[in-house]
C-alpha cells in the first residue's frame, strides 16, 4: 500500500487517519505542529512522539512537498520558485516582501482552463488540478526556506509569510476539494495560524463555488472583474458566458454576509485601448454601486505571444481618479518581479496542455479572420 502523504491532510483528516491506526486524537496535533510549525520532513526529528509511533509513521507515511526545480530573485526582493509537479510539468510560486507584510502567491492548478485572454497561464492551457499536498507544500517550502533570513534579521517575527493569496496559476474554485483542506491548514493554529483576513482566494467568477466557500471556509475574496459589461467581459473572461455579471455580483453580495472583511476586492487588469477608457470607468462605477468593494487596478503585464499592451501611466491615473471621485476605494497595484516574469498575469510554469487551447484559438482566429482581398486580374 502506498505511503500516505501527510501534507494532504488537514486536522480532521489527520485525526481520522490516526484513528485508523488506533492512535489518540492528540497525535494529530503533535504531528501537525512538527510538520507545519517546525518544517519537519523526517519523523525521527519529532522528539516528543513515541519512538514506536515514529517507526510506524516512517513505514506508512511521508511528508513530501513538490520539489523546487529552479528559483530566481528580483531586484525588488521578489522571489519566484518553479515547483515540479511530475510528468515534466511545473507551477510557479511567488514571494513578495513589503514593509508591512510578506505575501506568498500560490498556484492551485497546472495551467488554467478559464482561458482569460490577457493571462500567460490561460494562454498555456490546462493539464490538471494540484493535490492538497502540492498546494500547501508551496507554503511549507517557502515558509521554512525563508525563515532563517527572518530569524537573522532579529525582528522577533515567528514566521516568514504573513499573507497568502491564491492568485498563482489556476482557478482555485475549480479545484475546490484540494483547496479547502489547504485553506483549513493555513488557518489552523497548530499549522500556520493565519487569520481569515490574511488569506485571499481569487476567482474568475465560479458562482456556485463562491457560495460554497462562504459556507465552508470564508476567507478574504478577490474577484477578477476586468470589464464593466457582459459583452467585453465575455471576450476577456470566457467564464462570463456561464456566469454573467448580474449573477457574479449577486454572489459577491451573498459572500459579504460571511466574509471576514466588509468588502470584496475587484481585480481589474487595465489593457490599453480595450477596457481603460473614461467611459468604461464610469460604467464600472455604476456596475458595482451596490456592492461593498474596493477596486485593485492592475496595469497589464506583457508576456510573449500576447496582443495586448499596457496603458501609459497617465491613463491609469485618470481611470483611477474617476473611480476614487465616484466614492470607490481604488488602488493601483505596483508591478513586482516583472524582471523575473513573476508579476500578475505572467506566471506560466511548464504545462502539457490537455485542452488544446492553442489549436482551438488558432481555429477561432482563422474563422474570424476577414477573407483575403481578391487580387485584380490583369487585363
Q: What is the mean pLDDT of residues 363-368?
A: 36
Higher pLDDT among residues 349 and 86, named by residue: 86
pLDDT in tens, 202-237: 999 999 999 999 999 999 999 999 999 999 999 999
Identify whether residues 275 and 201 lie together within a single domain: yes
Q: Is residue 317 part of a domain?
A: yes
Identify whether residues 93 and 111 lie together within a single domain: yes
Q: Is residue 360 part of a domain?
A: no
**280 to 181, 270, 273: CA distances (angstroms):** 39, 11, 11
Confidence bin at 31 (pLDDT 50/70/90): very high
Identify whether residues 48 and 109 lie together within a single domain: no
Higher pLDDT among residues 87 and 268, named by residue: 268
Percent of the chain having pLDDT more than 70? 86
What is the rounded CA–CA span in Å between residue 2 and residue 61? 8
User: Per the confidence metrics, is the pTM higher than 0.85?
Assistant: yes
Q: What is the mean pLDDT of residues 81-85?
A: 93
Nearest to 266 by CA among 331, 211, 173: 331
**DSSP type of residue 196:** G
Q: What is the mean pLDDT of residues 55-79?
A: 92
Identify whether residues 266 and 196 lie together within a single domain: yes
Active site residue 92: yes
Higher pLDDT among residues 99 and 162, named by residue: 162
Identify whether residues 95 and 131 lie together within a single domain: yes
Identify whether residues 11 and 110 lie together within a single domain: no
What is the rounded CA–CA span in Å between residue 250 and residue 247? 5
Look at residue 367 and tell me whether its pLDDT is greater than 80: no
Give me the catalytic one of 105, 112, 293, 344.
344
Residue pair 220/183 in contact by the 8 Å Cβ criterion: no
Residue 36: CATH number of its domain = 1.10.150.530
Q: What is the mean pLDDT of residues 305-309?
A: 86
Q: What is the mean pLDDT of residues 253-281?
A: 97
What is the rounded CA–CA span in Å between residue 63 and residue 360? 40
**Structural domains counted in the chain:** 2
pLDDT at 157: 60
Give me the catalytic one of 92, 143, 171, 267.
92
Identify whether residues 52 and 75 lie together within a single domain: no
Q: What is the mean pLDDT of residues 290-300?
A: 96
Nearest to 295 by CA among 312, 320, 313, 274: 320
Q: Which domain holds residue 9?
A: 4-62
Identify whether residues 170 and 90 lie together within a single domain: yes
Identify whether residues 161 and 36 lie together within a single domain: no
What is the rounded CA–CA span in Å between residue 54 and residue 35? 13
Which positions ≥6 away from 311 have C-beta within 8 Å? Answer: 270, 271, 272, 273, 276, 299, 300, 319
pLDDT at 336: 52
Higher pLDDT among residues 155 and 324, named by residue: 324
Residue pair 207/243 in contact by the 8 Å Cβ criterion: yes
Identify whether residues 58 and 203 lie together within a single domain: no
Look at residue 12 and tell me whether its pLDDT is greater than 50: yes
Q: Is residue 271 part of a domain?
A: yes
What is the rounded CA–CA span in Å between residue 100 and residue 244? 36
What is the rounded CA–CA span in Å between residue 176 and residue 354? 20
Identify whether residues 84 and 157 lie together within a single domain: yes
Length of the chain, please?
Answer: 379
What is the rounded CA–CA span in Å between residue 374 and residue 376? 6
- Annotate 266-334 with DSSP letters as a single string: EEEEE-TTTT-SHHHHHHHHHHTTTS-EEEEEEE----TT----PPPHHHHHHHHHHHHHTT-EEEEPP
Residue 341: CATH number of its domain = 3.20.20.70
CA 60 from centre of chain: 32
Nearest to 67 by CA among 84, 92, 86, 82: 84
pLDDT in tens, 143-184: 988 988 776 766 556 679 999 999 999 999 999 999 999 999
**Cell numbers representing residue 127 in the block:** 493539464
Q: Is residue 362 part of a domain?
A: no
What is the rounded CA–CA span in Å between residue 364 and residue 362? 5
Q: Is residue 361 part of a domain?
A: no
Confidence bin at 185 (pLDDT 50/70/90): very high
Q: What is the mean pLDDT of residues 291-304?
A: 92
Amino acid at each position: 500500500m502506498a505511503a500516505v502523504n501527510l501534507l494532504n491532510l488537514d486536522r480532521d483528516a489527520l485525526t481520522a487517519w490516526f484513528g485508523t491506526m488506533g492512535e489518540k486524537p492528540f497525535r494529530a496535533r503533535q504531528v501537525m505542529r512538527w510538520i507545519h510549525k517546525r518544517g519537519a520532513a523526517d519523523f525521527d526529528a519529532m522528539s516528543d512522539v513515541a519512538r514506536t509511533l515514529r517507526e510506524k509513521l516512517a513505514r506508512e507515511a511521508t511528508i513530501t512537498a513538490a520539489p523546487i526545480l529552479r528559483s530566481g530573485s528580483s531586484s525588488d526582493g521578489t522571489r519566484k520558485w518553479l515547483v515540479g509537479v511530475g510528468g515534466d510539468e511545473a507551477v510557479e510560486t511567488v514571494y513578495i516582501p513589503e514593509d508591512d507584510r510578506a505575501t506568498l502567491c500560490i498556484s492551485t492548478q497546472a495551467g488554467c482552463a478559464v482561458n482569460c485572454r490577457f493571462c500567460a497561464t490561460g494562454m498555456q492551457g490546462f493539464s490538471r488540478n494540484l493535490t492538497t499536498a502540492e498546494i500547501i507544500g508551496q507554503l511549507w517550502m517557502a515558509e521554512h526556506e525563508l525563515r532563517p533570513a527572518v530569524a537573522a534579521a532579529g525582528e522577533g517575527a515567528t514566521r516568514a509569510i504573513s499573507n497568502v493569496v491564491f492568485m498563482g496559476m489556476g482557478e482555485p474554485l475549480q479545484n475546490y476539494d484540494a483547496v479547502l483542506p489547504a485553506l483549513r491548514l493555513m488557518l489552523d493554529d497548530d499549522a500556520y495560524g493565519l487569520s481569515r483576513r490574511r488569506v485571499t482566494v481569487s476567482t474568475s467568477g465560479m458562482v456556485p463555488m463562491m457560495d460554497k466557500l462562504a459556507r465552508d471556509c470564508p476567507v478574504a475574496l478577490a474577484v477578477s472583474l476586468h470589464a464593466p459589461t457582459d459583452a467585453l467581459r465575455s471576450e476577456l473572461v470566457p467564464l462570463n458566458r456561464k456566469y454573467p455579471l448580474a449573477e457574479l455580483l449577486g454572489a459577491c453580495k451573498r459572500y459579504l454576509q460571511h466574509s471576514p472583511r466588509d468588502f470584496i476586492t475587484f481585480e481589474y487588469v487595465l489593457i490599453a485601448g480595450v477596457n481603460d477608457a473614461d467611459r468604461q470607468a464610469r460604467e464600472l462605477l455604476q456596475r458595482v454601486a451596490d456592492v461593498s468593494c474596493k477596486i485593485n487596478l492592475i496595469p497589464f503585464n506583457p508576456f510573449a505571444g500576447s496582443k495586448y499592451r499596457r496603458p501609459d501611466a497617465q491613463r491609469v491615473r485618470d481611470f483611477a481618479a474617476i473611480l476614487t471621485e465616484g466614492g470607490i476605494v481604488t488602488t493601483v497595484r505596483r508591478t513586482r518581479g516583472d524582471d523575473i516574469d513573476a508579476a500578475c498575469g505572467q506566471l506560466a510554469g511548464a504545462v502539457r496542455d490537455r485542452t488544446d487551447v492553442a489549436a482551438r484559438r488558432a481555429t477561432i482566429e482563422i474563422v474570424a479572420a476577414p477573407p483575403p482581398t481578391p487580387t485584380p486580374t490583369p487585363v
